[in-house]
Structure 1
Amino acid sequence: MSRDNKGKTPMPRRRIWIYVLMFALSTINYVDRVVLSVSATSITREFGITPVELGYLFSSFLWLYVVCLVPMGMLVDRFGSRVVNAAGIGLWSAATALTALASGLGGFVVARIAMGIGESTTYPAAGRVIREWIPRSERALFAAIFNAGAYFGPAIGGIALAWLVEAAGWRAAFLACGAAGFVWLAAWLVWYRRPERAGWLDPRERDLILGEREPDAAAPAAAPSSLGRLLASRAMLGLMLTQGCAVYTQYLFLTWLPNYFQTERGMPMLKSGAMMAIPYLGAVILTTLVGRFSDARLDAAAAASGERRRVAAFAMLAGAVILLAPVTSSVPLVLLLIMIALAGVASTVALNIALVGDLIASSADAGRATGLLILGGNIFGILAPIVTGYVVQATGSFDAAFLVAGGLLLIGAASIFLLARHPIGATAPSLPANPGPVHVLPAAERP
């Protein structure tokens, strides 16, 4: 239960279902990404794929993913998150299921590219959901819970998919992942609407959400800023660079961690899946706590001036402990270092999404600004699997790969702290720290 603007009347918190839907979306998104990583040993053995070829295969779903991020953000701003999210998960779930029919490296690459196109809708749509549904006082928490799915997915995938591959083969794992996406799609189409149109939302809670929301969030047809104007912002560029440094480490672990445990630590597939789950589950808990902490210490004025960047910079510095991985032979200590690194990366990615919501001057830019943010991250993300493949093949070890990741995390910490403090996009009037309630039309009078 929560309270209304006067702090007196208890009311339901039914908007928690938006949190649940978006957390489940990012979970499925990343389960579908990690299924190839978990199945990699079986697939490489069946098709004779080399480490370098595997690195390119891991990277292939990002090739058009990054190209589509900004156009998908523009489509979100034009058609809304409900329609674009539905189309995206429908495409990527079909592509994931069809991967089971692949008979060689080319078939895998085509299926993964199609999956990447579909998945490019998720984060831009989440940026729009934040501006439509989530007050500033919950923005980092929502972003943290949404992004936690990117770590919960690999955690459950590491265990469940490893078991499924062992029991029924890698093709069954891809079919199961595709089916899960279509189940989510049905729930999304039934339940998701903007708060103005969500019939399941309690009227008092609707009034609270609309009363605390930025006034322009109710006007999706407002003129957006040009991409050039968004990219002219130092804050936007700083966020994109920081996102890139974080996502490089994220994709290093997402694509290569099962192989690291299996080859360098000599673990069988099922044990490597369990070991992969431990740091990912720890990261889910830690990043949610960091998001809650970020919300609790900021008022609206502090959030609008980019004060979340301080927490994000600290999270990146914490993640740089991965630099210590090459000097330890203890598996428990390596797991701890990976967990801290993942938590730092996860917290930064979530806070970056919240920062975009804080700093954009107009809600009409929500989808495209979030698309630019994720584009910055995934330009680096494309490189992580490929660079790691070359490093492992050349050195026979993951040590140098961990050193590259740690160095980038230090660069990202400096970038976000120094740059992410100015408005992004068109100039907008300042909002009061505690905006008062706005008049909300009765349901029958809403367009």
Structure 2
Amino acid sequence: MGQENIGKIKEKPTKRRWFVLFLICIITFINYLDRANISVAAPFISSDMGFDAAKMGLIFSAMSWSYTCVQIPCGWVLERLGPRIVYGIALLGWSTFTGAMSLTYSFASMIGCRLGLGFFEAPAFPANGRIVTTWFPSKERGLAIGAYTGAEYVGLALCTPILTWLLVTFGWKAIFIATGAIGLIFAIFWFTHYNDPSKSKGVNQAEIDLIKDGGGLSDTVAEKNKVTWKQMKYLFTSRQLWGMYIGGFSITAILFFFMTWFPSYLVTERHMAILKMGIYGALPYFAAIAGVLIAGRWSDWMVSKEYGIGIARKIPVIVGLLMSAVIMCANYTDNIALVIVFMCIAFFGQGMASAISWALLSEIMPRQLVGLCGSVYNFVANMGGALSPAIVGYLIARTGSYASALVFVSCMGVLGAFSYIFIIGKPKRIEISE
């Protein structure tokens, strides 16, 4: 019996959590491919349908209207049903609406498809946050969140040259048919390969103990929770969370400029040929991938060296947001190489901030409300995604150039850094009294 106990004690943890991370990286890649594909097609859509900058801004932002409005209900559904069912249905839904974009014939029908896309994409990041908080100990969480956040930018980086080729070869509708089909196929794989730790194949007790002992919430969030209104108040009265919400608003506003208007900026403002845009336009996205990975490793290294959560999780975000403000410098040069450099610096910084913001949120969110807290954060953050493309479109239509739009994006970086420095304070997990 003693030998058996020793054998159990020495049992090596399995590595199922890394396979789970691979799944959410792929699904996040698809998610952002389906969000950003319209930015590549935008110049051709605008020309074919006669849309001006203001109308294109509304089309760009429509996805975020529905995405933002259903964030909190999605969090409640996520707490009740768990990420396996919710994420799978969401993937099927948004992939269907992505494909349906190829059938649109008017401003109204295009707005309708973008609203449907946003509705079904809404559970994605709250589900990611819940899955990572469930499956990963604190010391690995920055890397895990950095990995799936990096997958966003891999989707954006690859979509620019590949989708540009599809655009030139087969027309803009082919972009939506191809990206929609990818999501529908992967939904089957998700349903057959994901589950929570307690129900998952390929995970042993040693790995579950590793997650739990390291601050993971495998035994807490795997259950279907009942949420009360008394618990909900913590999500709207915490200074820490409001600091996170404002910072998230700024981070998302910057991201959505790159996801929507950036290719059009290169084509219309900088007079770059379509195929050339497909190559040079991908460079800032690769810079963002580097920012995500560097920030994740840097933050986890500071955690391992016991610098404290405040320094380890906040500093990379603050530095990244301040770097994003550099985008305004593109207004002061006609050298296209310098323009791309400034865009790369700005998107590198946005990637740094985006990667670690969710890691910090996972450290302070109430244990009983992991999915719902992520939804509230996403709700406020994605108001930036809803407003940013429309504001940029209005500024372009009003002024006839992108100069004021870049100033707006730069201001978002400064606002976000201010929030992280002065509002959040010293981060600690929010405890809800029973």
Return the offset for 1:206: 3.9
- 1:256 corresponds, among 261, 272, 291, to 261
**Counterpart code for 2:137:** P
**Counterpart code for 1:258:** P
Matched, 1:387 2:418: no
Contact 1:136/1:300, CA 8 A, preserved across alignment = no
Aligned residue number for residue 13 of structure 1: 15
Per-residue CA deviations over 1:278-306 (Å, capped at 9, x if unaligned) read: 11012112211111110111159866667
Matched, 1:29 2:31: yes
- 2:242 corresponds, among 237, 245, 250, to 237
Matched, 1:360 2:365: yes
User: Quick one: percent identity of the two aligned structures?
Assistant: 28
Tell me, in whole angstroms, the C-alpha distance in 1 between the residues paired with 2:292 and 2:58: 30
What is the aligned length?
423
- Identify if the C-alpha distance between structure 1 residues 428 and 152 changes in structure 2 by more than 3 Å, giving closer, same or farther: farther
Contact 1:258/1:276, CA 8 A, preserved across alignment = yes
Tell me, in whole angstroms, the C-alpha distance in 2 between the residues paired with 1:35 and 1:81: 25
In the TM superposition, 1:139-158 aligns within 5 A as: 139-158=141-160
Per-residue CA deviations over 1:66-90 (Å, capped at 9, x if unaligned) read: 0011111111111111111011111
**Counterpart code for 2:366:** A
Query: Per the alignment, in what secondary structure is the counterpart of residue 197 of structure 2?
Result: coil
Return the offset for 1:11: 5.5
Contact 2:240/2:423, CA 8 A, preserved across alignment = yes
- Identify if the C-alpha distance between structure 1 residues 424 and 377 changes in structure 2 by more than 3 Å, giving closer, same or farther: same
Aligned residue number for residue 292 of structure 2: 287
Query: Per the alignment, in what secondary structure is the counterpart of residue 60 of structure 1?
Result: helix
Query: Per the alignment, in what secondary structure is the counterpart of residue 198 of structure 2?
Result: coil
Contact 2:137/2:213, CA 8 A, preserved across alignment = no
**Counterpart code for 1:401:** A
TM-score (norm 2): 0.92
Aligned residue number for residue 184 of structure 1: 186
Tell me, in whole angstroms, the C-alpha distance in 1 between the residues paired with 2:56 and 2:227: 44
- After the TM superposition, which of the residue ranges 265-274 and 86-95 deviates more from structure 2? 265-274
Tell me, in whole angstroms, the C-alpha distance in 2 between the residues paired with 1:10 and 1:328: 57
Return the offset for 1:12: 5.1
In the TM superposition, 1:341-420 aligns within 5 A as: 341-362=346-367, 364-420=368-424
- After the TM superposition, which of the residue ranges 146-155 and 218-227 deviates more from structure 2? 218-227
In the TM superposition, 1:66-105 aligns within 5 A as: 66-105=68-107
Aligned residue number for residue 3 of structure 2: none
Aligned residue number for residue 271 of structure 1: 276
**Counterpart code for 1:31:** L
Tell me, in whole angstroms, the C-alpha distance in 2 between the residues paired with 1:25 and 1:316: 26
Contact 1:230/1:424, CA 8 A, preserved across alignment = no
- Identify if the C-alpha distance between structure 1 residues 378 and 353 changes in structure 2 by more than 3 Å, giving closer, same or farther: same
Tell me, in whole angstroms, the C-alpha distance in 1 between the residues paired with 2:433 and 2:294: 31
Per-residue CA deviations over 1:324-359 (Å, capped at 9, x if unaligned) read: 111122222221221221122222122111111100
Structure 1 residue runs without a partner (length 5+): 1-5, 430-447
**Counterpart code for 2:273:** P
Aligned residue number for residue 163 of structure 1: 165
Return the offset for 1:37: 1.1
- After the TM superposition, which of the residue ranges 322-331 and 185-194 deviates more from structure 2? 322-331
Per-residue CA deviations over 1:221-258 (Å, capped at 9, x if unaligned) read: 36566332211001111101011111111111110011
Matched, 1:216 2:220: yes
- After the TM superposition, which of the residue ranges 413-422 and 166-175 deviates more from structure 2? 413-422
Aligned residue number for residue 436 of structure 1: none
Per-residue CA deviations over 1:155-188 (Å, capped at 9, x if unaligned) read: 1111111111111111111111111111221111
Structure 2 residue runs without a partner (length 5+): 1-7
Aligned residue number for residue 205 of structure 1: 207
**Counterpart code for 1:112:** R
Query: Per the alignment, in what secondary structure is the counterpart of residue 15 of structure 1?
Result: helix
**Counterpart code for 1:389:** G
Aligned residue number for residue 442 of structure 1: none
Tell me, in whole angstroms, the C-alpha distance in 1 between the residues paired with 2:9 and 2:345: 38
- After the TM superposition, which of the residue ranges 127-136 and 323-332 deviates more from structure 2? 323-332
- After the TM superposition, which of the residue ranges 86-95 and 298-307 deviates more from structure 2? 298-307
Return the offset for 1:200: 2.5
- After the TM superposition, which of the residue ranges 117-126 and 179-188 deviates more from structure 2? 179-188
